[in-house]
Amino acid sequence: MSGQLSLFDQPPKPDKPQKEIVQELSAIELNKDQPGAKLLELIPDGAVLEVTKHYETREVHVSRILGLLEDHRETGHAFSREEIGQQLSMTKAQAEGTASVMRRLGLIDSKNQITPWGSLVRARSPYLDDPGLLWLLHYLLASNAQLVLWSNLFNLILYEQDEVSIQEITEFFRVLQGRWSEKSLNDKLPLEVNSIFNTYTQALFSRLGFIQKIEKGSYVGFKNTGVIPDLIWLSAILVYRDRYYTGAASLEIPLITKAHYSPGRILRQNEVSVRKALDALHNAGLLTVETRSGLDQVRFKREHTWISAAARHLQGEQLA
């Protein structure tokens, strides 16, 4: 009969409102903007020299660990890193190194439980093949001053020179003797640096294409490569704000383009590229660029967080 709904023609149910994803970042207390700050002045409390256990971080391992933890999230079972290795046929050291990096990425917590950010990545980019996501993951690691080697490879060494060898890097970090043992600096540091470079040349971050191996133990870094999505710029800027300027309503643009651990510096993008991204975010109403009356700053909007911007990118949103 016309005009009547059949039993199989139910009216569509309204979409459930999506729950806002929240995950705060820990602040890093560091007087990084003092003029002429050197390596020794850029090491915060709680800093570590090693994180990878000398294994490169591979996307397949990150993906499988996220899958394992997500599948067991409802049970509340806390996997040890040794159990993770056994479940996924990884060596204990490999599982420990990968899990350690994942914790620094905010994908899992200290109890090896998947975080809201980890669940989002697992749901939206399970194979970690989204370039924008990879740029953000790189920034989360390389902008973290507590990761002394990883961060300062980009913040200091590759910022000053494009071509570098592991031997030169080992010499650069020798000033840390006293803070770390001679054995750590002479023996463990080169192995850690090698695993970090391998992560960029043959593993998780290789598709970003801005680090290339030129011969054994020597590498070259490229600047202004690739196109970083605008929402990833927003997420990275908010990561930077939350870590180093907690609660700041605004930031001067030079702090974003070239200050220590800034998005411009760590993402290896020049000032023109950064300002272009800021203008796009301003035009989209996601932040406000203020350049009148002697100002040169961005003002943030309370409703946007680093993880909400990342979520919008992973959901396929693009700014017009």
Least trusted range by pLDDT, from 34-38, 77-81, 89-93: 77-81
**159 close to 37: Cβ distance less than 8 angstroms:** no
Both 58 and 146 in one domain: the answer is yes
Both 61 and 201 in one domain: the answer is yes
Percent of the chain with pLDDT strictly greater than 70: 94
Residues 232-240, mean pLDDT to the nearest whole number:
99
Residues 18-27, mean pLDDT to the nearest whole number:
88
Both 71 and 217 in one domain: the answer is yes
Both 147 and 214 in one domain: the answer is yes
Whether residue 6 is predicted with pLDDT greater than 70 in this model: the reply is no
**194 close to 211: Cβ distance less than 8 angstroms:** no
pTM for the whole structure: 0.93
Query: What is the rounded distance in angstroms from the CA atom of residue 265 to the CA atom of residue 156?
Result: 9
Whether residue 159 is predicted with pLDDT greater than 60 in this model: the reply is yes
Residue with more model confidence, 73 or 28: 28
pLDDT band at 76 (very low <50, low <70, confident <90, very high): confident
Q: Is residue 121 one of the residues assigned to a domain? A: yes
Which amino acid is present at 51? Answer: V
Residues 279-293, mean pLDDT to the nearest whole number:
96
Query: What is the rounded distance in angstroms from the CA atom of residue 99 to the CA atom of residue 120?
Result: 17
Domain boundary pick from 155, 189, 221: 221
Predicted pLDDT of residue 225: 84
Residues 114-124, mean pLDDT to the nearest whole number:
97
Whether residue 15 is predicted with pLDDT greater than 70 in this model: the reply is no
Predicted pLDDT of residue 78: 85
Query: What is the rounded distance in angstroms from the CA atom of residue 114 to the CA atom of residue 95?
Result: 15
Residue 306 is part of which domain span?
230-314
Both 205 and 175 in one domain: the answer is yes
Whether residue 114 is predicted with pLDDT greater than 60 in this model: the reply is yes
Query: What is the rounded distance in angstroms from the CA atom of residue 274 to the CA atom of residue 253?
Result: 9
Both 163 and 251 in one domain: the answer is no
Percent of the chain with pLDDT strictly greater than 90: 88
Predicted pLDDT of residue 18: 56
For the chain, the domain total comes to: 2
**201 close to 210: Cβ distance less than 8 angstroms:** no
Residues 113-123, mean pLDDT to the nearest whole number:
97
Whether residue 154 is predicted with pLDDT greater than 70 in this model: the reply is yes
Q: Is residue 93 one of the residues assigned to a domain? A: yes
Alpha-carbon dihedral angle through residues 68, 105, 245, 229, given to the nearest 10 degrees = -100
Q: Is residue 3 one of the residues assigned to a domain? A: no
Q: Is residue 112 one of the residues assigned to a domain? A: yes
pLDDT band at 226 (very low <50, low <70, confident <90, very high): confident
Residues 262-282, mean pLDDT to the nearest whole number:
98
Domain boundary pick from 179, 203, 221: 221
Q: Supply the mean pLDDT for the chain.
A: 93
Residues 86-94, mean pLDDT to the nearest whole number:
93
Q: Is residue 30 one of the residues assigned to a domain? A: no
Nearest C-alpha neighbor of 153 from the set 166, 135, 137, 140: 166
Residue 232 is encoded by which pair of tokens? Answer: 């990833």
Predicted pLDDT of residue 73: 87
Domain boundary pick from 164, 197, 221: 221
Predicted pLDDT of residue 204: 98
Residues 6 or more apart in contact with residue 229 via CB below 8 angstroms: 131, 132, 135, 313, 318
Both 76 and 182 in one domain: the answer is yes
Predicted pLDDT of residue 74: 83
